[in-house]
Amino acid sequence: GAVVSQHPSRVICKSGTSVKIECRSLDFQATTMFWYRQFPKQSLMLMATSNEGSKATYEQGVEKDKFLINHASLTLSTLTVTSAHPEDSSFYICSASGATTYGYTFGSGTRLTVV
């Protein structure tokens, strides 16, 4: 079945630094990728949708300059949290869909802690 690999699974960074999270589709071409943010004991909140080769579409209230999304290839999308602050600490999850896959395939998530 379709597999999405997300790395790193956990990252701790200092306040003010940037962190990059990778999301790779291992066995299919991901024409669309989605990035979610999940706070403890809460739901998944969609941050942005990206189509390969196009600029990401951000949901209302999500700062595009803070959360940089790149979807340069059909198998890789990255989320960069720039100038991270403690309030950016959260669980970030990607998902992908493609022409040959059914539904959405989710990554295993990245726990970001900003200290």
Partner 1 sequence: GENVEQHPSTLSVQEGDSAVIKCTYSDSASNYFPWYKQELGKGPQLIIDIRSNVGEKKDQRIAVTLNKTAKHFSLHITETQPEDSAVYFCAAGWFSGGYNKLIFGAGTRLAVHP
**Locate tokens 């990607």: which residue?**
94
Q: For residues 85 and 104, which CB has a smaller minimum distance to partner 1 in the complex?
A: 104
Q: For residues 10 and 85, which CB has a smaller minimum distance to partner 1 in the complex?
A: 10
**Locate tokens 């989710």: which residue?**
106
Distance CA 75, CA 48 (A): 17
Q: For residues 25 and 95, which CB has a smaller minimum distance to partner 1 in the complex?
A: 95
Binding footprint of partner 1 on the chain (CB under 8 A): 6, 31-32, 34, 36, 41-46, 49, 60, 91, 93, 95, 97, 99, 103-104, 106-109, 111
Distance CA 27, CA 20 (A): 22
